[in-house]
Amino acid sequence: MNAKRADSTRTKAARTPIAMATIGLAAALLVTAIVGGGYWGWTRYQEIEHQQDVIARAKLRAEATERAKREAERIAAVKRKKEAAAEAKRRAASEAIRQTEEARRKAADAATAKQQTATASVTAEGGRIDPSKIKTPPMNSAETYIAYMTKWRGDDRTLLVKRWGRFRAMVKNRDLRREKEKRAFLLAPREEFARTRNPTRVYAHSWLGIGFGVTISGPHIVGRMTTEIDVKPGDKVLEIGTGSGYQSSILSYMTTKVYSIEIIPGLARVTDKIYTRLAKGKFKEYANVTRKAADGYFGWKKFAPFDKIIVTAGIDHVPPPLLRQLAVGGVMVIPVGPPGAQALLKITKVQSKSGKIRIRRHDIYASDPSRAGGRGKTKVSFVAFTKYNKAGKTISRWGKK
């Protein structure tokens, strides 16, 4: 009995450490589970909190962006409003200037019409204006000339300054020599005929394009050709190549009988409208210019003979019809020679005591000491003298008759 009890006691004693170890292990596992579960929960909490922070920050950025957008729109609206107000102010100022200018022009036209009615008589022939009755502007200084022209005709002061400057250069260069040519240049408004978008170039030395493949000649060559033919009151003058109309406008201040022919129909129509408008306004003297669209090579037989003929297109020979229509004692100026290198010839038709007709030719620049290059060295370049082909288009007459 005692032996069994002792065995039982020993068995229990042996089992006790195992049980304790099992309990300890179970307790450790329990603690581990509790601690692990808490760490996972904390981590999950932090993730949720971070996500909420990200969302909040994104919302703040979106709100800031929206506020910036609204502010930019407000600033843009204010800017547009200011620009609209400035544009309205500019338009109002421009309209006021236009109305003032229009009123000034009307007043100038009325004053001009009144003065021309008082000072310009109409000749018996064809209701033409006698250019000699138009007062000669002052030539002693720029100040008196500009003051006179702005008061009398209302010309633009800036362009008058340019015109006077070119006038002085042309006088110095001997392109204008007599008072009548000087007077005609100072009276003729080149700006009305130049067709340029840049008014400051109107009185430049060089030629200017006027469309249709042609040009308006530079002031110096216009002045020199006009001076060479020496137009006298009552002279019948034929211009071949109306072009812009500027050359014939100058001629109209020296005689009542100016005839001009232009071969390009479209150009003739445009220039005719300009002349009609000017003649109805403050340039009554331009009614003295009789015009037509035709081939100028054959002249204008209806009104021949002509005392003076001025040709403004280059050709390699002198057209025989023009020589026939030039009066005895008459003068023609014409550029003759190859393209880009013509001599500007002065042709005089004279009659000897025996009745024989002779033609004298002279290069107007050949012996001119004012020209660079010396005697006989000056060449000019004019657009081509043209004719109609079978298709009705204009082609160069160089090398053709």
The model's pLDDT over 142-155, given as tens digits with 9 standing for 90+, comes to: 999 999 999 999 99
Per-residue pLDDT band for 200 (boundaries 50, 70, 90) equals confident
Q: Which residues are catalytic?
A: 217
More confident residue, 367 or 378: 378
More confident residue, 115 or 48: 48
- pLDDT > 70? residue 11: no
- pLDDT > 70? residue 113: no
Choose the weakest-confidence range: 59-68, 179-188, 261-270, 318-327.
59-68
Mean pLDDT of all residues in 8-36? 64
Per-residue pLDDT band for 112 (boundaries 50, 70, 90) equals very low
Token duo for residue 259: 């005839």
pLDDT at residue 124, rounded to an integer: 29
- Whether residue 158 contacts residue 181, with contact meaning beta carbons closer than 8 Å, is answered with no
Domain ranges of the chain: 1-119, 131-396
- pLDDT > 80? residue 114: no
pLDDT at residue 37, rounded to an integer: 61
Mean pLDDT of all residues in 82-100? 88
> Does the predicted TM-score (pTM) go above 0.85?
no
Report the chain's mean pLDDT, rounded to a whole number. Answer: 85
- pLDDT > 70? residue 36: no
- Whether residue 153 contacts residue 108, with contact meaning beta carbons closer than 8 Å, is answered with yes
Mean pLDDT of all residues in 42-54? 81
- Whether residue 282 contacts residue 153, with contact meaning beta carbons closer than 8 Å, is answered with yes
Question: Rounded CA gap, 285 and 275, in Å?
Answer: 10
The model's pLDDT over 285-341, given as tens digits with 9 standing for 90+, comes to: 999 999 999 999 999 999 999 999 999 999 999 999 999 999 999 999 999 999 888
Token duo for residue 239: 């211009």
Question: Rounded CA gap, 254 and 287, in Å?
Answer: 13
Task: Report the alpha-carbon angle 20-5-7, nearest 5.
Answer: 60
Q: Could you give the residue ranges of the DSSP H alpha helices within 154-206?
A: 157-172, 179-187
Q: State the CATH architecture for 131-396.
A: 3-Layer(aba) Sandwich (3.40)
- pLDDT > 90? residue 22: no
- Whether residue 290 contacts residue 280, with contact meaning beta carbons closer than 8 Å, is answered with no
The DSSP 8-state label assigned to residue 215 in this structure reads: E
| Phi and psi based region of residue 153 (left: phi greater than 0; alpha: psi -120 to 50; beta: remaining) | alpha
The DSSP 8-state label assigned to residue 258 in this structure reads: E
